[in-house]
Amino acid sequence: MVHVRYLRSKRTPYAAPVAVLAVVGLVALVPALSGASSPAGLPAQSPEQLLADIVAAEPPQLSGTLQWTVNLGFSGLSALEQETGQGGSGHSGGEENFDPLTLLADDYQVNVWLDGTTAEHLALVDGPAEEVDLVRNRDQAWLWDSSTQTVTHFIWGDRAQTSTGSGLPPIWVRSTPEQLAAGLLSDLGATTAVTVSAPLYVAGEPTYQLLVTPKAASGSTVDHIEIDVGATGSLLGVPLQVAVYATGQSSPAIELGFTGVVHVGPPPASELTFTPPPGAKVITRTLGAGHGGRVAGGPGGTTTGTGWTTVLSGSAPGLVSSAGNGLVSAATTVVQVAGQHARLFSTVLLNILLMPDGRFYAGLVTPSVLEAAASASS
């Protein structure tokens, strides 16, 4: 199993980065290739060769620390945190104490253990009394939240497995740079240019720098994506860092990468097992065929548009119905869409539109693209 421990920064206490990574995963890329460079100290590598190395790389066996950094140019989440309170009082009493919006306003360190095949462990620690762990082994996963003393046990069958080799349903496949890069390199085709830039070191490891850039993505908020790929040894072709740059920004809006030292080799078996703590509440959820890897009964979603201007839409009546209270109004602004009063959550990279009929529209696109998608379906 994989155990990941998230060590929160001192700015604000927030939860695991699954939700934002899922949104970033909307930007899936395989490219029309162009250009090549000759990184100093490493053999020259073309984009085609580097992408081939990524595809051929074996899932790594390693342990280390990930740094998750966000810089979305949005200050409203400080007000949102004041509404929810440090003790989570703003939550609606659900089973899990996660608020996806909190992922957009803080940095994390995450300790990671990967066995390369069937197991992994991710863990986040908010302080001496709070911890979030995700442990996965084959067809089961456990999500532990110490703030609620709750374990959510996920089970899924063969038809709910993915073909990524990780054995995880789609909800879990964006938790490391390798997994994130796989999603980012999937299917953008002719809309994308890919080049190799100067090499650099990531967590002490030499890497090639793969730059992925929209050729002409009017309406996208993405300027380019940098994927730093291991250049030698067992880390050859393994993405060690992914950074997403928003249009007009000189620093990454979102960055996920290894820091410190990457320890290559099988992690300790003790880090890949999970037993619910004494007294914990255990909730079992089945991820079955026919749900596309989603929790049975969970919300669905559809996509419109293509490539860099893909928009995800779906139904979120609970969130929309609370749009008038202080919690949501602190993080959104009122906009007029198709003659209706909608609410917009906006950052330099991610935008989310909440419609009064309970639908949402989200993407790494400008607000006008979301508004056009909402108007077209009205």
pLDDT tens per residue, range 2-22: 333 434 333 333 233 333 334
Domain tally for the chain?
A: 2
The rounded radius of gyration (Å) of the Cα atoms in the chain is 20
Q: In which band, very low, low, confident or very high, does the pLDDT at 47 lie, cut at 50, 70 and 90?
A: confident
Are both 249 and 336 inside the same structural domain?
no
Distance CA 206, CA 235 (A): 9
CATH for 44: 2.50.20.10
Q: Give the residue from 223, 254, 287 where a domain finishes.
A: 287
- Category of 84 on φ-ψ map: left (φ > 0), alpha (ψ -120 to 50) or beta: alpha
The burial class, CB within 10 Å (0-12 / 13-18 / 19+), for 10 is exposed
Are both 90 and 180 inside the same structural domain?
yes
With respect to residue 292, please indicate whether it lies within any of the assigned structural domains. Answer: no
Strand partners, 241: 228, 257
Distance CA 251, CA 189 (A): 26
Are both 29 and 112 inside the same structural domain?
yes
Are both 222 and 366 inside the same structural domain?
no
Are both 248 and 212 inside the same structural domain?
yes
Are both 191 and 223 inside the same structural domain?
yes
pLDDT at 373: 94
Q: Is the pLDDT of residue 93 over 70?
A: no
pLDDT at 59: 87
Are both 225 and 315 inside the same structural domain?
no
Are both 327 and 263 inside the same structural domain?
no
For 363, the domain range is: 302-376
**Under DSSP, is residue 301 helix (H, G, I), strand (E, B) or coil?**
coil
Tokens of 67: 């740094």
Distance CA 253, CA 273 (A): 34
pLDDT at 98: 46
The predicted model gives 143-149 an average pLDDT of 88
Are both 279 and 314 inside the same structural domain?
no
* 316-337 pLDDT, tens digit each: 776 655 555 555 677 788 999 9
Q: Give the residue from 224, 252, 287 where a domain finishes.
A: 287
Q: Give the residue from 263, 287, 311 where a domain finishes.
A: 287
